[in-house]
Amino acid sequence: MRVPFKSGIVLTGIAVSALTLAACSTDAEPEASASASASSTTSAMAGAVDLSGVCPADIKIQTDWNPEMEHGHLYSMLGSEYTVDSNNKSVTGPLIASGADTGVDITVLSGGPAVGYAQPNTQLYSDESIFMAYVGTDESIAHSADLPTVAVFQPLEKDPQMIMWDPETYPDVTSIADLGAEDVTVRVFPGGVYIDYFVGTGVLSDSQVDTTYDGTPAVFVAEDGAISQQGFASAEPYIYANEVEAWAKPVGYELINDAGYPKYAASMSVLPETVTEYADCLELLVPIMQQAEVDYYDGTLQASVEALVLELVDAFDTGWVYSADVAEFSFDTMIADGIASDGPDGILGTHDAERVASLFDIVLPIYAEQGIEVAEGLTPEDLYTNEFIDESISLGF
């Protein structure tokens, strides 16, 4: 779960930046935007691709949170004539590939407060007009019986979720395992499967896990570095160092992926029947999505996507505060930390079979203990397909 950042709140007698829950916008009508295009006129893909007739006229994609730079690969496919719908917290425009109109529209739907914090896979099943949604690998396993999905493209090689700590208080800590060894309190949201894994494998002890985290920085600040806390590497390190006035110093962190929990965090997923019924569409669409991400992370579309993200944050007015500085930090960190990168096969967007199988083996015992029933006979291969991936497309890092 993510929570929106709101600046300038006074907590526990200290002037700090705080995180607040969102309130929905009350704008009455969608509004046309005149901001810069988030489409590229140069690309490795040659020629126009016509998606009309094989794909839905409007390809609706449900994200997991408010607009942010992690979603840049989607915003990169929007042309300049997009329309912002502040009521539904969405943006719609011609789907652009290599600077050319594909003949269909794309709608990017915000998650989090925009949908009452419902998970994207729930939205995919509750609204038949949604074609694709972000689904994490562990979530797809947990909901394989009631909300089965198949991932067709993964834009993030690593989950940006992390555990952070104060390097001044704990100069010898360089990892989550070190936090366990030093018995540092780890404050997290309740229900995180990755925490169950760390406890179950002895990386952390059950007694040091505090599940009272509410998304605000107040306790972390008040504890003056005595505790560690969950967060996102693409946001909190900058925010705490630069926007939380009562902290205003660096934090150390480790990604949960690098600590041994190999979840794909935001795989582009569809209903199982969609893989067959829209195979011709996915065969064309997935390579477009791959190339859009290449054009985004090579810097071609960074500025235009950032402008669009900031425009949407302002228009949607959910309480989510996202500065240009955080956006730029996020973009740089996604590359620097390998959150956005090619897979071990050197291809962008494939699911690694051994990695999926490893996570499968990790979470099944946890779900069994929690009483979560997965689909009978489920195998790791049921969770994804690489058949639509263009193996010639890569980020080069």
pLDDT at 27: 40
- The pLDDT tens digits along the chain (397 residues) read 454 333 332 333 333 333 333 333 334 344 444 333 333 333 334 458 999 999 999 999 999 999 999 999 999 999 889 999 999 999 999 999 989 999 999 999 999 999 999 999 999 999 999 999 999 999 999 999 999 999 999 999 999 999 999 999 999 999 999 999 999 999 999 999 999 999 999 999 999 999 999 999 999 999 999 999 999 999 999 999 999 999 999 999 999 999 999 999 999 999 999 999 999 999 999 999 999 999 999 999 999 999 999 999 999 999 999 999 999 999 999 999 999 999 999 999 999 999 999 999 999 999 999 999 999 999 999 999 999 999 999 999 9
pLDDT at 360: 98
DSSP 8-state class, residue 335 = H
For the chain, what is the largest distance between any 2 Cα atoms, rounded to a whole number of angstroms? 60
The H or E element spanning position 137 is helix 137-142
CA angle 338, 313, 316 (to 5 degrees): 135
User: Phi and psi for 334 in degrees, rounded to 5?
Assistant: -60, -35
Residue length of the chain? 397
pLDDT at 79: 81
Query: In this structure, what token pair is assigned to residue 248?
Result: 């205003």
For every residue of 189-246, DSSP letters joined together read: -TT-HHHHHHHHTTSS-GGGEE----S-SHHHHHTTTSSEEEEETTTHHHHHHHT-TT
User: Phi and psi for 284 in degrees, rounded to 5?
Assistant: -95, -40
Spatial neighbors of 102 by CB under 8 A, at least 6 apart, are 48, 49, 50, 51, 52, 94, 95, 96, 288
Q: For residues 120 and 269, what is the distance between their CA atoms, to the nearest angstrom?
A: 10
Contact 243, 9 (CB under 8 A): no
The H or E element spanning position 342 is none
Q: For residues 135 and 266, what is the distance between their CA atoms, to the nearest angstrom?
A: 5
User: Phi and psi for 293 in degrees, rounded to 5?
Assistant: -70, -40
Q: For residues 351 and 389, what is the distance between their CA atoms, to the nearest angstrom?
A: 10
Q: For residues 276 and 53, what is the distance between their CA atoms, to the nearest angstrom?
A: 16
User: Phi and psi for 273 in degrees, rounded to 5?
Assistant: -70, -25
pLDDT at 104: 98
Query: In this structure, what token pair is assigned to residue 362?
Result: 């990790």
The H or E element spanning position 119 is none
pLDDT at 57: 98
Reported as a single tens digit per residue, the pLDDT across 347-390 is 999 999 999 999 999 999 999 999 999 999 999 999 999 999 99
- Tell me the HSE value of 153 on the side-chain side, using a 13 A CA sphere: 27
Q: For residues 365 and 197, what is the distance between their CA atoms, to the nearest angstrom?
A: 10
Provide the 10 A C-beta neighbour count for residue 299.
10
Provide the 10 A C-beta neighbour count for residue 50.
15
Contact 321, 238 (CB under 8 A): no
pLDDT at 80: 87
Q: For residues 168 and 11, what is the distance between their CA atoms, to the nearest angstrom?
A: 23
Query: Taking the model in full, what pTM does it have?
Result: 0.88
Which amino acid is it at 281? C
Alpha helices by DSSP H, the chain: 72-75, 120-126, 137-142, 176-181, 193-200, 218-222, 236-242, 272-277, 279-297, 302-316, 324-336, 353-370
Taking the chain, what is the end-to-end CA distance rounded to the nearest angstrom? Answer: 28
Burial of 270 (0-12, 13-18, 19+ CB in 10 A): buried
Spatial neighbors of 396 by CB under 8 A, at least 6 apart, are 342
Domains detected in the chain: 5-21+160-255 (3.40.190), 33-158+263-322+339-383 (3.40.190.10)
Contact 207, 232 (CB under 8 A): no
